[in-house]
Amino acid sequence: MSTITERPVSNSAGQPPVRTVPGAPVAPRRDVRAVVSAYVSLTKPRIVELLLVTTVPAMMLAEGGLPSLWLMAVVLVGGSLAAGAASVLNCYIDRDIDQLMRRTKRRPLPTHTVSPRSALVFGLALAVVSVTLMAVFTNLLAAGLTLAAIAYYDLVYTLWLKRTTPQNTFWGGACGAAPVLIGWAAVTGSLAPAAWALFAVVFFWQMPHFYPLAMKYKADYARAGIPMLPVVASARRVNAEIIGFAWLTLLSSLAVWPLGMSAIYGVTALLSGGVFVYEAHRLCRQVASGGAVRPMRLFHWSYVYLTILFAAVAVDALV
């Protein structure tokens, strides 16, 4: 007796009956939501959040008030797509080391949720759309900075610096600070001293922001052969850089004050920056004492600090 049964389907499409074998495995349906979620995760939305935190206030300061909503929308959409493109291409390039690290092995490429080719096409498409939007609706300086930021992050930082030097975080810091310059350029078509001062804040901020994360996942980076500073340098050297760059972040934020800012910004920069520096010293004391170390406290506070500081920039620009 035959074990194949027939299950009729609608004849409206003229399709033949579908044959099934009892007990045979059924091909799983592809969950559309899971696929969409995987592609979104490739863009690293947390980085896009950082873009919003720094870009909008920079635009407001450049305008001396609130820029047109249309321009803000274009810059935020274009900038978000650019940051997403850089992150997707970063995941494509780093797929070999991501599968070796506990922190990243569940990303879409190591889990084969998204194929490398699909990720590459997706990332390049986002890059083309983002740069085109900036070129058509803002100006060539903003578009050029956008393209440069994507290229530098993926070709210079991810492909080269990250794998070859312990100073990769320092030299890669320009990418994270680029949205400040892009937002300013989109409004004015040029770059003023205040734009560079804000750029310096975000640039120096990235070392005391990222080194605690690298400390927590030190074994991960060592397993993957990535020479992050906490992996290859002494604790004393890492402490010195965290404290030094935390102070440079504070001083850079105060350098913005005389460039047309009021006490609203100045006092906020002084107080929030003071807490940021205190938390950096606190972490380094924990490391030096050999006791329990909580590096993620500084990591999370760094986000709060940057949000508070740039919120003060936005408020100051409005008043």
**In this predicted model, what pLDDT tens digit does every residue of 86-119 receive, in sequence order?**
999 999 999 999 999 998 999 999 999 999 999 9
Domain with CATH 1.20.120.1780 in the chain: 192-318
What is the second-level CATH architecture of the domain 37-188? Orthogonal Bundle (1.10)
pLDDT at 208: 97
Q: Please report the pLDDT score of residue 30 as a whole number.
A: 56
Match domain 192-318 to its CATH number in 1.10.3470.10, 3.40.47.10, 1.20.1420.30, 1.20.120.1780: 1.20.120.1780
Mean pLDDT, the chain, rounded, equals 90
Please calculate the CA angle 192-194-199 and round it to the nearest 5 degrees. Answer: 100
What residues in the chain have per-residue pLDDT under 70?
Answer: 1-30
Residue-wise DSSP of 108-155? TTTTTSS-HHHHHHHHHHHHHHHHHHHHHHT-HHHHHHHHHHHHIIII
Q: Which residues does 42 contact at the CB level (< 8 Å), separation at least 6?
A: 84, 87, 88, 91, 107, 108, 109, 114, 119, 122, 123
- 265 secondary structure, DSSP code: H
pLDDT in tens, 135-182: 999 999 999 999 999 999 999 999 999 999 999 999 999 999 999 999
CATH code 1.10.357.140 region(s) in the chain:
37-188
**Residue 317 pLDDT:** 96
